[in-house]
């Protein structure tokens, strides 16, 4: 760990000199990449300096404690030393986490798919609630999201919705949302007031660049058709809906939200590329998947990851045994505490794996 720290601090010094070079500034793409890496290394540099300073302050406090005769002053020195020890321990832990190699996938944009599962109309209504939760969280982060395809019900629920989210470290924050989300509440369609249990499936796919996934035209079957929706909505008089089938894998994508066939095809290709990339990544990253599975789940869509209990205003994440009694706020997009706990659990597992 110390060798890695020294290596990263040396790299920071080199980048600090590099960003002063006028030639670098002229190349905006390279300059942006260098500044992003420097910012990450500077966080490590700052945390390391805090550790050094706290060590110095703690040594001074202990020296004062040994030489002090006045009992009242000794108690004050003891209290200061305890406080410094706590701060030092917390800062050292933060530095350890910062030294864990970052997953390059964390910086990717995502395509998220939400589908109603068991529970009929109630499941569709909850799928719509989850979509609002994620979209509001995206707004607070300054991310951009775009609906790529949706299938609404007559009561305003969603049988399925696929949307993209673009921004800084989107996948890092949302990667652990894949799985089955169970809801317990009195449905709007239930007149007797009984609590029903329904389920919604979420999939989070890192979005792949065209250079990362090579899709050959001859491997695709593209069908066009008229779009349709509930109650006759979104029914076009032209064949604007597109269905693309990737023949080698059997993956099929359908898009119909746009009135333009070209736009629907472009969105369908983005979704298809993300699904193929996700499948290939999971195959080639068994070790990473194993590490996730032990703490925060495998990302398997059949795994029940969370329960939303509306009568008790309770949300429970079963992977890390976290329960919060503020479901009302969570559904409004206030999910930072939950997502941070999932990220922390994953980083702790990575830290244990690094140490062993």
How far is Cα 9 from Cα 334, in angstroms, rounded to an integer?
A: 35
CB of 293 within 8 A of CB of 94? no
How far is Cα 259 from Cα 226, in angstroms, rounded to an integer?
A: 10
pTM: 0.74
- Say how far residue 310 (Cα) sits from the centre of its chain: 24
Residue 89 exposed, middle or buried by CB count within 10 Å (0-12, 13-18, 19+): exposed
**Mean pLDDT (whole number) for 188-201:** 81
Q: Cβ neighbours of residue 4 under 8 Å, at least 6 residues apart? A: 99
Decide which of 335 and 297 is more confident: 335
Would you place residue 238 in the very low, low, confident or very high pLDDT band (cuts 50, 70, 90)?
low
Residue 295: its pLDDT value, please?
A: 42
Average pLDDT, the chain: 86
In CATH terms, are 106-207+295-355 and 217-282 the same topology? no
Beta bridge partners of residue 113, listed in sequence order: 162, 203
The pLDDT of residue 231 is above 70: no
Residue 37, CA atoms < 13 Å, CB-side half-sphere: 17
- Report whether CATH 3.30.160.20 matches the domain 217-282: yes
Residues 60, 61, 62, 68, Cα dihedral to 10°: 110
pLDDT per residue over 64-118, tens digit each?
Answer: 888 777 888 888 888 899 999 999 999 998 898 788 877 878 889 999 999 999 8
Mode of pairing for the β-strands spanning 179-185 and 304-309: parallel
pLDDT per residue over 283-332, tens digit each?
Answer: 766 544 554 444 455 445 567 999 999 999 999 999 999 999 999 999 99
* The token pair that represents 76 in the structure block: 């004050």
CB of 241 within 8 A of CB of 216? no
Residue 252 exposed, middle or buried by CB count within 10 Å (0-12, 13-18, 19+): middle
Domain ranges of the chain: 2-99, 106-207+295-355, 217-282
**pLDDT above 70 as % of the chain:** 89
Instruction: Output phi, psi for 325, to 5 deg.
Output: -105, 60
* CATH class entry, domain 106-207+295-355: alpha beta
């Amino acid at each position: 760990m110390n060798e890695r720290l020294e290596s990263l601090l040396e790299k920071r010094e080199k980048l600090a000199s590099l960003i002063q070079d006028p030639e670098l500034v002229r190349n905006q793409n390279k300059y942006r990449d260098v500044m992003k890496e420097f910012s990450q290394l500077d966080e490590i540099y700052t945390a390391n300096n805090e550790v050094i300073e706290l060590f110095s302050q703690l040594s001074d406090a202990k020296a004062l404690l040994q030489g002090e005769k006045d009992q009242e002053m000794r108690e004050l020195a003891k209290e200061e030393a305890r406080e410094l020890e706590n701060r030092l321990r917390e800062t050292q832990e933060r530095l350890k986490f910062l030294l864990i190699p970052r997953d390059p996938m964390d910086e990717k944009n995502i395509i998220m798919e939400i589908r109603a599962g068991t529970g009929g109309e109630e499941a569709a209504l909850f799928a719509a609630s989850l979509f609002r939760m994620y979209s509001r969280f995206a707004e607070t982060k300054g991310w951009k999201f775009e609906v790529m395809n949706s299938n609404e019900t007559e009561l305003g629920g969603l049988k399925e919705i696929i949307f993209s989210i673009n921004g800084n470290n989107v996948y890092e924050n949302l990667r652990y949302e894949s799985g089955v989300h169970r809801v317990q509440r009195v449905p709007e369609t239930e007149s007797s007031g009984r609590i029903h249990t329904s389920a919604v499936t979420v999939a989070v796919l890192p979005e792949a660049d065209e250079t990362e996934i090579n899709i050959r035209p001859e491997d695709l079957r593209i069908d066009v058709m008229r779009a349709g929706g509930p109650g006759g909505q979104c029914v076009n008089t032209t064949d604007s809906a597109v269905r693309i089938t990737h023949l080698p894998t059997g993956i099929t994508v359908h898009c119909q939200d746009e009135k333009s066939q070209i736009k629907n095809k472009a969105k369908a290709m983005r979704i298809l590329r993300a699904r193929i990339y996700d499948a290939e990544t999971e195959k080639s990253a068994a070790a990473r998947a194993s590490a996730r599975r032990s703490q925060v789940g495998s990302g398997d869509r059949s795994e029940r990851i969370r329960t939303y209990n509306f009568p008790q205003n309770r949300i429970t994440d079963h992977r890390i045994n976290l329960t919060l009694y503020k479901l009302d706020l969570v559904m409004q997009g206030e999910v930072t505490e939950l997502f941070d706990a999932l990220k922390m659990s994953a980083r702790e597992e990575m830290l244990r794996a690094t140490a062993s």
